């Protein structure tokens, strides 16, 4: 699992490390990483390193200092380097001196746009982890002029470091070189960061517990349920799916099929689409009603069940069975409209809610807003449930405050029925006995991989995503060391 730390925690860790490190050493290490990657980008985008032109956008703090030192290193490789200083009186003195010693030039702010237009590469050292609010007008104006590839130092300026939110002009980096720790922006707004390159500056021991976590392929592979020699169809966990209706059987078919694809255990379906489900997936044990469905180890309830009294009865029944429940779609609306249905829940029964933004707003009375991590954490605490907030980056929070981030792999999953596939996957993992927080995170990972595999650059349907689940699992397993 990769850890991700908020800027407050990174700053505290840096302070502790700085106290025991020779002055300037950390910055030079960071800047060296920037220069190495800048040279790589020049070679790739401009065809050579020596003789190329790099423009540094330099803000008032250490982020600008990193850029200035990187410029000094690039000079030594024959690169022409010009620095545009946003606040000349506050530019990092040692960095500036190093750049000037190496033959770099400082250009007036007014000439910045012209230099930027002729650059082969722009290095963004405007702000790093101490950024506050939207970019100031002079910085915003420079950023808007950039057409060359951009290498962001630590993070793309103008993107809020802890939430990934953008308000106004912001750098869209081709690559971001970050130091010491991944910060929330890198996983919450990956589009603005481009390729994220990590440079170790020895912060590891100082960081403590991460604020967010991301699953690696190895975590997904390790968590994925694999039958052992003594397993049978029951021992691997039976998934129950209560979804769809006679008029709208699609949700039922997709959710049940995703559970079939995700596990070699058994899948039961209960609802008015039993005939259609059975016809498409004969391996599903289908019945017309949840009340005679038999034992399961987890229920998926909601997609397409309607929000009336019949749907409510189904949800209340599932909540009273003493097994984990993944409540999605209509089940979320039912809970939002009548929170008392949760009284049926056995207090020890794990509940997993999987809202998209609209359902989240219905459920909590408030849209997730720019700080999605804070919003999902609060909802998890309030409902004493694991909450998976769908979005470009999917977030999974548990009541204890742990948050998993699943970085998007393109936008292909924004397609009808895609959520039904995710809830079926999640249900199968819950039934296998995975703890709900991890089950949701692993399901989101495989769902995103399947979406990417199904799409391969063209639109994908939910059925395509469903069909790609086995390959997604194979991919995660093959990437694990
Ligand atoms: N500490 C370490 O060991 C290491 C740190 N390292 C590096 O230091 C970086 C953090 O540096 P930092 O703390 O000096 O602040 P930083 O992010 O450069 O901001 C500086 C100033 O910008 C301004 N400003 C704020 N908001 C703004 C806005 N919206 N639009 C425009 N301007 C804005 C504001 O100044 P003001 O203009 O208010 O005087 C603020 O004080 C970190 O990201 C990493 O790159 C590495 O070298 C590794 C070792
Ligand atoms: K930056």
Taking the centre of ligand 2 as the mean of its atom positions, its distance from the CA of residue 20, in whole angstroms, is 25
pLDDT in tens, the chain (481 residues): 999 999 999 999 999 999 999 999 999 999 999 999 999 999 999 999 999 999 999 999 999 999 999 999 999 999 999 999 999 999 999 999 999 999 999 999 999 999 999 999 999 999 999 999 999 999 999 999 999 999 999 999 999 999 999 999 999 999 999 999 999 999 999 999 999 999 999 998 899 999 999 999 999 999 999 888 888 877 889 999 999 998 889 999 999 999 999 987 899 999 999 999 999 999 999 999 999 999 999 999 999 999 999 999 999 999 999 999 999 999 999 999 999 999 999 888 899 999 999 999 999 999 999 999 999 999 999 999 999 999 989 999 999 999 999 987 777 777 888 999 999 999 999 999 999 999 999 999 999 999 999 998 888 899 999 999 999 999 999 998 8
The residues, ordered by sequence, that sit 6+ positions from 326 with a Cβ below 8 Å of its Cβ are: 298, 299, 300, 301, 302, 352, 354, 423, 426, 427, 430
Nearest atom in ligand 1 to the alpha carbon of residue 130 is: 17
| Structure token pair of residue 279 | 């016809």
Per-position b or e across 176-189, b if 16+ CB within 10 A of its CB: bbbbbbbbbbbbbb
Q: Cα separation of 307 and 346, whole Å?
A: 22
Contact 81, 71 (CB under 8 A): yes
Pick out the residues of the known binding site for K(+).
Answer: 63, 124, 157
Nearest atom in ligand 1 to the alpha carbon of residue 11 is: 1
The number of the ligand nearest the C-alpha atom of 62 reads: 1
For the Cβ of 160 lying below 6 angstroms from any atom of ligand 1, the answer is no
| Structure token pair of residue 447 | 């769902």
For the Cβ of 66 lying below 6 angstroms from any atom of ligand 1, the answer is yes
Unique residue bearing structure tokens 């009284």: 343
CA-closest candidate to residue 38, choices 195, 161, 190: 195
Taking the centre of ligand 1 as the mean of its atom positions, its distance from the CA of residue 136, in whole angstroms, is 13
Contact 82, 108 (CB under 8 A): no
The number of the ligand nearest the C-alpha atom of 130 reads: 1
Q: Cα separation of 121 and 216, whole Å?
A: 32
Q: Cα separation of 169 and 157, whole Å?
A: 9
Taking the centre of ligand 2 as the mean of its atom positions, its distance from the CA of residue 397, in whole angstroms, is 29
Q: Cα separation of 81 and 343, whole Å?
A: 66
Taken in order of first residue, the domains within the chain and their CATH numbers are: 2-214 (3.40.50.10260), 217-479 (3.40.1190.20)
**Beta strands 2-4 and 212-214: pairing type?**
antiparallel
E strands in 364-453: 386-389, 394-397, 403-406
Pocket test for ligand 1, best of 8, 25, 72, 129 (most atoms within 8 A of CB): 129
CA-closest candidate to residue 393, choices 357, 423, 366, 358: 357
Taking the centre of ligand 1 as the mean of its atom positions, its distance from the CA of residue 392, in whole angstroms, is 28
Unique residue bearing structure tokens 């009865």: 313
């Amino acid at each position: 699992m990769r850890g991700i730390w908020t800027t407050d925690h990174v700053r505290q860790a840096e302070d502790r490390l700085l106290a025991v490190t020779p002055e300037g050493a950390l910055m030079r290490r960071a800047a060296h990483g920037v220069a190495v990657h800048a040279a790589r980008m020049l070679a790739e985008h401009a065809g050579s390193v020596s003789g190329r032109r790099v423009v540094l956008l330099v803000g008032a703090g250490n982020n600008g200092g990193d850029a200035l030192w990187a410029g000094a290193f690039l000079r030594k490789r024959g690169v022409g380097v010009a620095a545009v200083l946003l606040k000349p009186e506050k530019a990092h003195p040692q960095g500036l001196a190093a750049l000037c010693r190496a033959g770099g030039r400082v250009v007036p702010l007014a000439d910045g746009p012209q230099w930027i237009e002729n650059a082969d590469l722009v290095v963004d050292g405007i702000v790093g982890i101490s950024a506050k609010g939207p970019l100031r007008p002079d910085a915003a104006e420079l950023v808007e002029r950039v057409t060359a590839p951009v290498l962001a130092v630590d993070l793309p300026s103008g993107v809020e470091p802890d939430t990934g939110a953008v308000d106004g002009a912001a750098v869209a980096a081709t690559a971001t070189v970050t130091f010491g720790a991944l910060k929330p922006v890198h996983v919450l707004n990956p589009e603005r960061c481009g390729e994220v390159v990590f440079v170790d500056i020895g912060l590891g021991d100082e960081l403590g517990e991460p604020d967010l976590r991301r699953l690696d392929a190895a975590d997904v592979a390790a968590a994925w349920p694999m039958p052992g020699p003594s397993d049978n169809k029951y021992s691997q966990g039976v998934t129950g799916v209560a979804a769809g209706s006679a008029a709208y059987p699609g949700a039922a078919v997709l959710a049940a099929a995703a559970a079939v694809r995700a596990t070699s255990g058994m899948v039961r379906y209960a609802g008015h689409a039993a005939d259609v489900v059975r016809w498409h997936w004969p391996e599903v044990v289908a019945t017309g009603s949840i009340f005679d469905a038999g034992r399961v180890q987890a229920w998926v309830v909601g997609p397409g069940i309607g929000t009336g009294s019949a749907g409510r009865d189904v949800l209340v029944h599932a909540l009273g069975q003493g097994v984990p429940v993944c409540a999605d779609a209509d089940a979320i609306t039912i809970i939002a409209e009548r929170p008392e249905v949760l009284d049926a829940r056995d207090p020890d029964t794990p509940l997993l809610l999987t809202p998209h933004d609209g359902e989240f707003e219905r459920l909590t009375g408030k849209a997730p807003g720019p700080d999605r991590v804070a919003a999902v954490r609060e909802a998890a605490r309030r409902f004493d449930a694991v909450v998976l907030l769908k979005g470009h980056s999917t977030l999974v929070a548990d009541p204890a405050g742990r948050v998993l981030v699943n970085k998007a792999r393109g936008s292909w999953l924004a397609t009808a029925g895609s959520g039904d596939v995710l809830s079926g996957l999640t249900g199968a993992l819950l039934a296998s006995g995975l703890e709900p927080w991890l089950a949701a995170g692993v399901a989101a990972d495989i769902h995103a991989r399947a979406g990417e595999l199904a799409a391969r650059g063209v639109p994908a349907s939910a059925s395509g995503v469903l069909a790609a689940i086995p390959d997604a699992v194979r991919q995660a397993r093959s990437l694990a060391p």
